[in-house]
């Protein structure tokens, strides 16, 4: 275990979700004493019992093993007592997010969190914001709250910094350690303190930017560019479809160009990060009088993808003389992306909703997603039994060993398969030889 400077020994991480829990454990693994703070009692209880449903791993250990090790070592503990955590720690990291509902952002969780931190802040504490925010939030919204509640001056009595969170779920530990981390402070000393804290976990570059707004804005741009790229490759997919060639092959070929990086089209854009990114830029752009037409159109197009997917599927059913209304549909995968347990803003869930609204009976199987849904089933057989159509919407490890016979033994003989993930591409000929309609995106 590394030698940690005394002033960085105690860390409180607010928010114990997809980012906060692995981040808190990353500090604990390196020898810090960490409080993981969350407002959801059940979540805190589960975590303290060693239970989490996240699909993370690091150096051959699952997050469940890491969590249990750190609990046992006494270096990590989850709590709902934020006051205690701030009193006992002088490094306070915030990973509480800004939810978006119907395009509108809601800062209340983040404000509530910073109010509590401000009220209990001590002289020389460091507050490090890691949430993804509307550019300007740290200095224009959170700093005044922290100063007012603490009665202290940021940069003089306490340190304030912002560092963007860039991990992808499923690779959290790896990316905390080996993805360059960007940080800025409200003054040089704040940036220095935050950099030293981050270096406990980040083993590659911790880059100090000139201002907090640069880091906040860069983070949102990083996500928005993926949103636009995905909207673009969806348009490419419609083009290649009409031309009768494979989008996956075109992308593979195009990406051999050293300066091209096309993303892979799927059934939509999900999760907490990419769909929200535009909505973090929009309010500031409005305030500044800046036009975001391309970004807005991309977001609208991507938000509409679940509907487009259902329309494609409906047409496949029509080709075998069936109506979506009354059809029995098996769905594989409900997560917002492959190999994830996260079903927040999941296009797969949205697609199921639309299918049901249109009168289809849906049986969906996803062994990784823990959310209860009335349409969820527990086995492949239940999902595929006597179905008229199958939609593959997210990959999971458990789907990798499914072969064509496994599918055909359950489904109706004239089944149609819409594989938005290219999971069964290898069986394309097998299906076609048996007169079954099999379509990728």
Ligand X SMILES: NC(=O)c1ccc[n+]([C@@H]2O[C@H](COP(=O)([O-])OP(=O)(O)OC[C@H]3O[C@@H](n4cnc5c(N)ncnc54)[C@H](O)[C@@H]3O)[C@@H](O)[C@H]2O)c1
Q: Which is nearer to ligand X, 144 or 359 (CB)?
A: 144
Q: Identify any residues that bridge with 37 across adjacent strands, giving them in sequence order.
A: 14, 79
Write the DSSP symbol of residue 151.
Answer: T
Angle at 346 between CA 26 and CA 37, to 5 degrees: 30
In the bound complex, which residue of the shown chain has the CB atom lying closest to ligand X?
17
Least CB distance to ligand X at residue 25 (A): 13
Q: Which is nearer to ligand X, 25 or 329 (CB)?
A: 25
In sequence order, the 6+-apart residues with CB closer than 8 A to the CB of 51 are: 64
- Burial string for 334-346 (b: 16+ CB within 10 Å, else e) reads bbbbbbbbbbbbb
Q: Which is nearer to ligand X, 229 or 246 (CB)?
A: 229
Least CB distance to ligand X at residue 283 (A): 15
Q: Which is nearer to ligand X, 273 or 327 (CB)?
A: 273
CA distance 74 to 80: 17
- List contacts with ligand X (CB under 6 A): 14-20, 37-40, 43, 82, 95-97, 109, 112-113, 131-132, 165, 167-169, 272-273
Q: Which three-class secondary structure state does DSSP give residue 188?
A: helix
Q: Which is nearer to ligand X, 19 or 436 (CB)?
A: 19
Place of tokens 């395009």: 103
Least CB distance to ligand X at residue 386 (A): 37
Q: Count H helices and E strands in the chain, helices first.
A: 18, 18
Least CB distance to ligand X at residue 80 (A): 8
CA distance 332 to 97: 29
Least CB distance to ligand X at residue 303 (A): 17
| Contact status, residue 316 vs residue 416, Cβ threshold 8 Å | yes
CA distance 133 to 212: 11
Q: Which is nearer to ligand X, 23 or 126 (CB)?
A: 23
CA distance 344 to 17: 12
The number of beta carbons lying within 10 Å of the beta carbon of residue 175 is 19
Q: Which is nearer to ligand X, 195 or 219 (CB)?
A: 219
Beta strands 389-392; 328-332: pairing state: parallel
Q: Which three-class secondary structure state does DSSP give residue 399?
A: helix
CA distance 74 to 34: 9
Q: Which is nearer to ligand X, 13 or 305 (CB)?
A: 13
Q: Which is nearer to ligand X, 278 or 365 (CB)?
A: 278
Q: Which is nearer to ligand X, 343 or 419 (CB)?
A: 343
Of the CA atoms within 13 Å of residue 272, those in its CB half-sphere come to: 19
In sequence order, the 6+-apart residues with CB closer than 8 A to the CB of 275 are: 100, 227, 269, 299, 302, 303, 345
CA distance 358 to 60: 45
CA 280 to chain CA centroid, nearest Å:
15
Beta strands 328-332; 57-58: pairing state: unpaired
Least CB distance to ligand X at residue 57 (A): 15
| Contact status, residue 248 vs residue 157, Cβ threshold 8 Å | no
Least CB distance to ligand X at residue 156 (A): 26
Least CB distance to ligand X at residue 180 (A): 14
Least CB distance to ligand X at residue 218 (A): 13
Least CB distance to ligand X at residue 382 (A): 29
Write the DSSP symbol of residue 138.
Answer: I
Q: Which is nearer to ligand X, 113 or 198 (CB)?
A: 113
Least CB distance to ligand X at residue 243 (A): 35
């Amino acid at each position: 275990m590394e030698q940690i400077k005394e002033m960085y020994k105690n860390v409180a991480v607010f928010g114990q979700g997809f980012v906060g829990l692995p981040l808190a454990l990353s500090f604990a693994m390196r020898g810090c004493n960490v409080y993981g703070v969350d407002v959801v009692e059940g979540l805190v209880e589960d975590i303290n019992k060693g239970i989490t449903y996240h699909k993370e791993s690091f150096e051959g250990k699952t997050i469940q093993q890491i969590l249990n090790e750190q609990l046992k070592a006494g270096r990590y503990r989850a709590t709902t007592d934020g006051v205690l955590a701030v009193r006992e720690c002088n490094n306070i990291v915030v990973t509480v997010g800004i939810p978006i509902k119907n395009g509108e952002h809601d800062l209340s969780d983040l404000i509530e969190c910073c109010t509590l931190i401000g009220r209990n802040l001590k002289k020389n504490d460091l507050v490090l914001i890691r949430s993804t925010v509307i550019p300007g939030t740290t200095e224009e919204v959170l700093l005044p709250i922290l100063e007012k509640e603490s009665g202290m001056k940021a940069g003089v009595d306490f340190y304030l910094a912002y560092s963007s969170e860039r991990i992808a779920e499923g690779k959290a530990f790896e990316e905390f350690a080996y993805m360059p981390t960007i940080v800025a402070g409200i003054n040089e000393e704040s940036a220095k303190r935050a950099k030293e804290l981050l270096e406990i976990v980040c083993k590659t570059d911790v880059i100090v930017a000139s201002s907090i707004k640069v880091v906040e804005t860069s983070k949102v741009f990083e996500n928005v560019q993926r949103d636009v790229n995905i909207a673009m490759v969806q348009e490419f997919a419609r083009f290649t479809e009409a031309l009768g060639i494979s989008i996956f092959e075109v992308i593979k070929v195009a990406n051999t160009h050293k300066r091209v990086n096309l993303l892979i089209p799927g059934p939509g854009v999900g999760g907490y990060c990419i769909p929200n990114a535009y909505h973090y830029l929009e309010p500031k752009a409005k305030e500044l009088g800046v036009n975001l037409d391309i970004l807005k159109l991309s977001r609208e197009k991507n938000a509409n993808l679940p509907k487009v997917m259902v329309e494609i599927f409906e047409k496949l059913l029509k080709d075998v003389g069936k109506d979506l209304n009354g059809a029995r549909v098996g769905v594989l995968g409900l997560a917002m992306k492959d190999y994830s347990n996260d079903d927040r803003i999941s296009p797969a869930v949205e697609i199921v909703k639309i299918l049901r609204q249109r009168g289809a009976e849906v049986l969906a199987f996803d062994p990784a997603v823990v959310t209860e849904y009335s349409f969820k089933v527990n086995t492949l057989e239940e999902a595929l039994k006597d179905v008229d159509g199958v939609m593959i919407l997210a990959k999971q490890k458990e789907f990798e060993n499914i072969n064509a016979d496994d599918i055909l033994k359950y489904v109706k003989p004239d089944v149609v398969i819409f594989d938005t993930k290219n999971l069964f591409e290898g069986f394309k000929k097998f299906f076609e030889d048996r007169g079954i309609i099999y379509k990728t995106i």
